[in-house]
Amino acid sequence: MPRTSLSRTLRIAGLAAGLALSAAPAMAAGTGFYVGAGAGETHGSGAFDDETSHWKLTGGYHFGWLPLIDLGAELAYVNTGELDGEVGGRSASLEVESFQAMGLAGLSFGPLGLYAKAGMADWDAERRGRGIGDRSGTDPVYGVGARLGLFGLSGRLEYEHIDADEIGDLDMLTAGVIYTF
């Protein structure tokens, strides 16, 4: 094989490898709208220092403006199970549902991505027990997560914290799946 053919072949192979590597983040994270669902465990604090399960529905948009950087916006609905506690010396329970709006920023390493998220959670808490009533409010929510995916389908593991002093902070660990259109 002449020297010019070898050089040309190496340049074409290098260009193809570069294009494949630059496309990997887009294939992995997906750019565009996504929907998903997840389930996990919620840990309460304060008067409701207990653990329960929760489920979550998610929708959002990945912008995909920069390679290796994930930017997005997300809306979520989270519904917890019952947290048991004690208020005023009497047993009580708490169930929380929240609507969340968050911004996401992270790094994409091909099919693997790490991200952070922050926003606000509008929550309603149903408190049961003698002499206590329901509560609602809007408080900050933030978290971190990791995702692993390819061709629009991603598995996610994330930790989120709702900073709700009125009912006690909520820590949530969620495993879920999202599909990017």
Query: Residue ranges per domain, the chain?
Result: 3-180
Query: Is 19:41 a contact under the CB 8 Å cutoff?
Result: no
pTM: 0.81
What does the longest C-alpha to C-alpha distance in the chain come to?
Answer: 90
pLDDT at position 152 is 81
**Average pLDDT of the chain?**
86
Q: Whole-angstrom Cα distance, residue 9 to residue 32?
A: 35
- pLDDT tens, position by position, 10-34: 566 555 555 444 444 444 456 889 9
Distance from the Cα of residue 85 to its chain's centroid: 27
CATH number of 3-180, picked from 3.30.70.260, 2.40.160.20, 2.102.10.10, 3.40.50.2000: 2.40.160.20
| pLDDT > 70? residue 57 | yes
Mean pLDDT of 107-131: 92
